[in-house]
Amino acid sequence: MVFPEGLHLECGFHLAPVQIAYRTYGALSAARDNAIIVCHALTGDQYLADTQPLTGKPGWWSRMVGPGLPIDTDRFFVICMNVLGGCMGSTGPRSPRSGPGADGAEPWGTDFPPVTIRDMVRAQKLLVDRLGIHRLFAVVGGSMGGMQVLEWAATYPDMVFAAMPIATSPFHSAQNIAFNEVSRQAIFADPDWHGGRYWERDAVPARGLAVARMMAHITYLSEEALTRKFGRRVRRDPYGDNPLSLFGEMFEVESYLRHQGSSFVNRFDANSYLTITRAMDYFDLGTEHDGDLSRPFHGTRTRFCIVSFSSDWLFPTSQARMLARALNRAAANVSFVEIESDKGHDAFLLDEPDFDRTVRGFLSGAAEHARIG
């Protein structure tokens, strides 16, 4: 959906037009009171519960969202939007440049204005308004999706009845900014990067983007998960003869990461990766409130359910607890659960029965309070 009036970004730039690519699941009730927004993570997209067209794989949360599933599309109308700055149809660095002097053919590239998590949420609000929805039953999301959930609840408190920030944090930590910086440097170091104007040479900084993804992917897992999945198992290279050579044989974990890296390059744009990681780095709920994380939520009537995972070291439980306590200071209605899991940060995307029960239960309980369906 295109919004010709565009959006005034936090950086001061007026971006117009703005396009938001989205998918919906289930049906909006006559009272328009059963809408749930699911916010995707850094490298996610709007293909929440149906086939991703580039990879041909099922949607990233198809195990969670669908008829009879914890986010039940028989009951709820679920909207998932590609974030502003993304590369799956919403306006981002790969979109044609707009404004004075633009020829409509050249993409934004690195000139795309820096966006924030709040800009992403305000762009989503454009679409929600256009759909004629005045009140969201819930906003749900993990990782960067969880940041958007918090921003929704802080920016539009009267619009959000229930909020479920999962595996996330009230601000991006120094460690996480550091990881993002390594990812960005890997992209910059690729000779095919060409200062961000790689499209001019028909090139893609594939090596750099793949290394960025490999490094980031390690942070989404855990030592236990890697050991369980791969251990020290070795895959023999059919062309290598020396078993102790540097390149001859490969640990399974290496080949797994290489696969993650190379398949990522096919579906993601490097400039989008830079834009979105930057947006995450900027995220800090306390920044306008002298570091007081509770102030954005004062007087909130939103019901919160914070979920963390015990082996998540990227967004550890300590940060979720910090968020829970900030919400306590705002006297908000808060549930806070740490799910026991050895799967690391990615646990929210994987099979965790306790987590499924938590999502289902929180939404059903909130629906009872909201007196819907």
Partner 1 sequence: MRLDQRLIAEMIQPGTRVLDIGSGDGALLDYLFRTRGCDAQGIEIDMQEVTRSVAHGLPVMHGDADHDLAHYPRHAFDYVVLQRTLQAVERPREVLRQMLRIGRHAIVSFPNFGHWQLRLKLLTTGRMPMTAVWNTSWYETPNIHPCTILDFLMLCREEGYVVEEWMAVDEDGERAPWRRSIRLANLFGEQALFLLRRRNG
* Residues forming the active site: 143, 312, 345
Neighbours of 175 (CB within 10 A): 12
Tell me how far apart the alpha carbons of residues 315 and 173 are, in angstroms, rounded to a whole number: 9
Does position 114 interact with partner 1 (CB under 8 A)? The reply is no
* Residue 85: closest CA among 129, 40, 53, 52: 40
Interacting span for partner 1 (CB under 8 A) from 13-21, 139-147, 166-174, 362-370: 362-370
Interacting span for partner 1 (CB under 8 A) from 125-133, 203-211, 240-248, 326-334: 326-334
Tell me how far apart the alpha carbons of residues 153 and 144 are, in angstroms, rounded to a whole number: 14
Does position 295 interact with partner 1 (CB under 8 A)? The reply is no
Interacting span for partner 1 (CB under 8 A) from 10-18, 33-41, 50-58, 300-308: 300-308
Q: How far apart are CB 367 and partner 1 at their closest, in Å?
A: 8
CA trace torsion 172, 178, 181, 182 (10° rounding):
-140
Interacting span for partner 1 (CB under 8 A) from 45-53, 57-65, 219-227, 361-369: 361-369
CA distances from 126 to 5, 8, 120, 132, 285 (A): 10, 12, 10, 10, 22
Yes or no: say if 253 and 232 are a contact pair by the CB < 8 Å rule: no
Does position 331 interact with partner 1 (CB under 8 A)? The reply is yes
Complex with partner 1: residue 255 or 333, whichever CB lies closer? 333
Which tokens sit at 265?
Answer: 């390059």
Q: How far apart are CB 285 and partner 1 at their closest, in Å?
A: 16
Residue choice 334, 343, 345, 346 for contact with partner 1 (CB under 8 A): 334
Residue choice 329, 342, 370, 372 for contact with partner 1 (CB under 8 A): 329
Q: How far apart are CB 360 and partner 1 at their closest, in Å?
A: 7
Work out the angle at residue 357's Cα, subtended by the Cα atoms of residues 218 and 148, and round it to the nearest 5 degrees: 55
Residue choice 360, 370, 372, 373 for contact with partner 1 (CB under 8 A): 360
Q: How far apart are CB 38 and partner 1 at their closest, in Å?
A: 19
Total residues binding partner 1 (CB under 8 A): 28
Concatenated DSSP letters of 321-366: HHHHHHHHHTT-EEEEEEE--SSGGGGGGS--HHHHHHHHHHHHHH
Does position 13 interact with partner 1 (CB under 8 A)? The reply is no
Complex with partner 1: residue 187 or 337, whichever CB lies closer? 337
Does position 333 interact with partner 1 (CB under 8 A)? The reply is yes
Tell me how far apart the alpha carbons of residues 314 and 146 are, in angstroms, rounded to a whole number: 13
Q: How far apart are CB 369 and partner 1 at their closest, in Å?
A: 8
Q: How far apart are CB 371 and partner 1 at their closest, in Å?
A: 12
The alpha-helical segments, DSSP class H, found in 190-310 are 206-220, 223-229, 252-265, 270-282
- Residues 6+ away with beta carbon under 8 Å from 247: 237, 240
DSSP summary character for residue 99: S
Residue choice 74, 158, 223, 340 for contact with partner 1 (CB under 8 A): 340
Does position 365 interact with partner 1 (CB under 8 A)? The reply is yes
Enumerate binding residues for partner 1 (CB under 8 A). 303, 305-306, 321, 324-325, 328-331, 333-340, 354, 357-358, 360-362, 364-366, 368
